[in-house]
């Protein structure tokens, strides 16, 4: 793991210029090259702002994405999406869910928008001494979640009911994708995977049971595919994982404690773990005690990106010391999630977003 003491999860609120450009692109008023030019300029400005606010690790804010996970998963052959309307909190939302449509694979020989996006980010980061570009991608479990647990597809093209063969191909596809990113200069990769917190939520577990699956069975899928995905990755590539309890337009999706999943996740060969701990829903830090002395970094997500309330420096210090007492000195601080898991963003404004970043950086005195 990179020697970090504070970091960000990845996404930032989309500026108005991005919102307008994407709307114009989908209405046919802008071409894709015109959209990309506007995104490029906004990402240049974002990286400069990140550096100005004291961040040592920068992202492109996911400014090119609609969804935190699906835009990446579409890089794989054999994966596609469908559009649905779902009601939540009394509002009907237009959403997308992915499913397996054929043999899952990753072809490094063809252009990949997400790889090109990283190359552009890395070029911006190189303009600032001591700044690292981080690529954020969604994890392999999300393919299984969408296909089997959200859409309820038990039989899939090419694989039929053979989920073990599918898991094997997903893992191999991720190995190829990770190597491709590495070959294009990536040395710090963050794999976002909220699948684990689906499996600690009582209501979602009822859905899992109704589909005919057991919690332990699904967690075994997740462990197998996540472990296989990381197999053989370059030794000088730092790979961390992030998971929170969902973040859809600032609203959490799941509730529960990490006790039943932490023992499994901590066995997967990640270098770091970004874990949401911004409110009482998260429970204690004890499930992560097994990381103490492991050489892995625990990144305490203590600053909320959903709540506009600005945490106090003293409050963060107290919670950080509580975490350190459990996991040891291999610990860092971060927000609990990105500021915009979907392009609409969370229910805060840009001024608050940057105040949260300033607060993060100001905590160096106790990190």
Structure confidence by residue, pLDDT tens digits, 215-255: 999 999 999 999 999 999 999 999 999 988 765 554 556 67
Interatomic CA distance for residues 350 and 46, integer angstroms: 12
Task: Give residue 161's pLDDT.
Answer: 94
Is 70 exceeded by the pLDDT of residue 13? yes
Interatomic CA distance for residues 208 and 202, integer angstroms: 10
What integer is the mean pLDDT of 180-198?
95
Digit-coded pLDDT (tens) for 324-362: 999 999 999 999 999 987 777 777 999 999 999 999 999
Please enumerate in sequence order all residues whose Cβ is within 8 A of that of 30, keeping only pairs 6 or more positions apart, or say none: 21, 24, 38
Are 118 and 184 in contact by the 8 Å Cβ rule? The answer is yes
Which pair of structure tokens corresponds to residue 52? 């100005």
Are 279 and 304 in contact by the 8 Å Cβ rule? The answer is yes
Task: Give residue 69's pLDDT.
Answer: 82
Instruction: Say which DSSP state 172 is in.
Output: H
Instruction: Give me the sheet containing 135-138, strands edge to edge.
Output: 135-138, 188-192, 238-243, 272-276, 297-303, 331-335
Task: Give residue 244's pLDDT.
Answer: 81
Please report which confidence band the pLDDT of residue 90 belongs to, taking 50, 70 and 90 as the band edges: low
Is 80 exceeded by the pLDDT of residue 2? no
CATH 3.40.50.300 holds for 16-365:
no
Is 90 exceeded by the pLDDT of residue 85? no
Is 80 exceeded by the pLDDT of residue 42? yes
Is 60 exceeded by the pLDDT of residue 11? yes
Task: Give residue 251's pLDDT.
Answer: 55
Which pair of structure tokens corresponds to residue 110? 């063809």
| Bridge partners (DSSP) listed for residue 289 | none
Task: Give residue 365's pLDDT.
Answer: 94
Task: Give residue 3's pLDDT.
Answer: 84
Are 306 and 347 in contact by the 8 Å Cβ rule? The answer is yes
Is 60 exceeded by the pLDDT of residue 30? yes
Instruction: Say which DSSP state 212 is in.
Output: T
Is 90 exceeded by the pLDDT of residue 97? no
CB atoms within 10 A of CB 160: 11
Least confident range of 89-93, 125-129, 164-168, 346-350: 89-93
Task: Give residue 86's pLDDT.
Answer: 61
Interatomic CA distance for residues 296 and 272, integer angstroms: 5
Please provide the average confidence, as pLDDT, over all residues in the chain. 92
pTM score, whole prediction: 0.93
Which pair of structure tokens corresponds to residue 210? 């109704």
Which pair of structure tokens corresponds to residue 155? 């039989």
What integer is the mean pLDDT of 81-107?
78
Instruction: Say which DSSP state 57 is in.
Output: E
Task: Give residue 96's pLDDT.
Answer: 76
Task: Give residue 248's pLDDT.
Answer: 54
Task: Give residue 46's pLDDT.
Answer: 98
Task: Give residue 347's pLDDT.
Answer: 76
What integer is the mean pLDDT of 70-79?
94
CB atoms within 10 A of CB 323: 21
Task: Give residue 341's pLDDT.
Answer: 76
State the pairing for strand pair 77-88/91-105: antiparallel
Instruction: Evaluate the CA torsion angle 204, 285, 288, 252 in order and state its sign.
Output: positive
Please report which confidence band the pLDDT of residue 89 belongs to, taking 50, 70 and 90 as the band edges: low
The residue written with tokens 């559009």 in the block is 83
Secondary element (H or E) of residue 77: strand 77-88
Task: Give residue 363's pLDDT.
Answer: 97
Digit-coded pLDDT (tens) for 258-305: 999 999 999 999 999 999 998 777 789 999 999 999 999 999 999 999
More confident call, 312 vs 97 = 312
Digit-coded pLDDT (tens) for 106-153: 999 999 999 999 999 999 999 999 999 999 999 999 999 999 998 889
Is 70 exceeded by the pLDDT of residue 88? no
Domain extents in the chain? 16-365
Instruction: Please give the full DSSP string across 134-159, using - where no structure is assigned.
Output: -EEEE-THHHHIIIIIIS---SBTTT
Instruction: Please give the full DSSP string across 268-317, using - where no structure is assigned.
Output: S--SEEEEE-SSGGG--SGGGGGGTTSSPEEEEEEE-SS--SPPPHHHHH
Task: Give residue 1's pLDDT.
Answer: 66
């Amino acid at each position: 793991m990179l020697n970090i003491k504070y970091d960000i999860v990845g996404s930032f609120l989309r500026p108005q210029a991005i919102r307008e450009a994407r709307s114009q692109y989908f209405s046919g008023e802008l071409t894709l090259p015109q959209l990309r030019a506007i995104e490029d300029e906004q990402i240049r400005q974002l990286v400069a702002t990140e550096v100005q606010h004291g961040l040592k690790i920068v992202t492109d804010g996911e400014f090119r994405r609609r969804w935190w996970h699906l835009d990446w998963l579409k890089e794989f052959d054999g994966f596609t999406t469908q559009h649905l309307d779902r009601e939540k909190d009394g509002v009907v939302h237009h959403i997308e869910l992915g499913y397996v449509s054929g043999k899952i694979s990753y072809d490094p020989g063809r252009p990949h928008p997400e790889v090109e996006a990283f190359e552009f980010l890395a070029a911006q980061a190189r303009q600032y001494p001591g700044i690292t570009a981080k690529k954020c991608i969604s994890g392999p479990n999300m393919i299984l979640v969408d296909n089997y647990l959200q859409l309820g597809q038990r039989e899939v093209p090419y694989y039929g009911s053979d989920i073990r063969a599918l898991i094997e191909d997903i893992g191999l596809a991720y190995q190829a994708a990770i190597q491709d990113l590495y070959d294009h200069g990536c040395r710090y990769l963050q794999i976002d995977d909220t699948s684990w917190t689906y499996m600690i939520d009582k209501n979602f577990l009822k859905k899992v049971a109704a589909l005919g699956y057991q919690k332990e069975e699904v967690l075994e899928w997740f462990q197998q595919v996540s472990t296989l995905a990381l197999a053989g990755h370059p030794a000088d590539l730092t790979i961390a994982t992030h998971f929170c309890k969902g973040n859809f337009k600032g609203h959490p999706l799941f509730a529960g404690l990490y006790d039943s999943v932490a023992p499994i996740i901590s066995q997967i060969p990640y270098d770091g773990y970004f874990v949401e701990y911004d409110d009482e829903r998260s429970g204690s830090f004890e499930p992560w005690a097994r990381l103490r002395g492991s050489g892995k970094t625990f990144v305490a997500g203590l600053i909320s990106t959903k709540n506009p309330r600005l945490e106090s420096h003293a409050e963060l210090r107290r919670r950080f010391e509580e975490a350190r007492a459990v996991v040891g000195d291999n610990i860092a601080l971060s927000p609990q999630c990105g500021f915009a898991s979907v392009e609409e963003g969370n229910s805060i404004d840009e001024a608050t977003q940057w105040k949260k970043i300033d607060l993060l950086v100001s905590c160096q005195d106790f990190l």
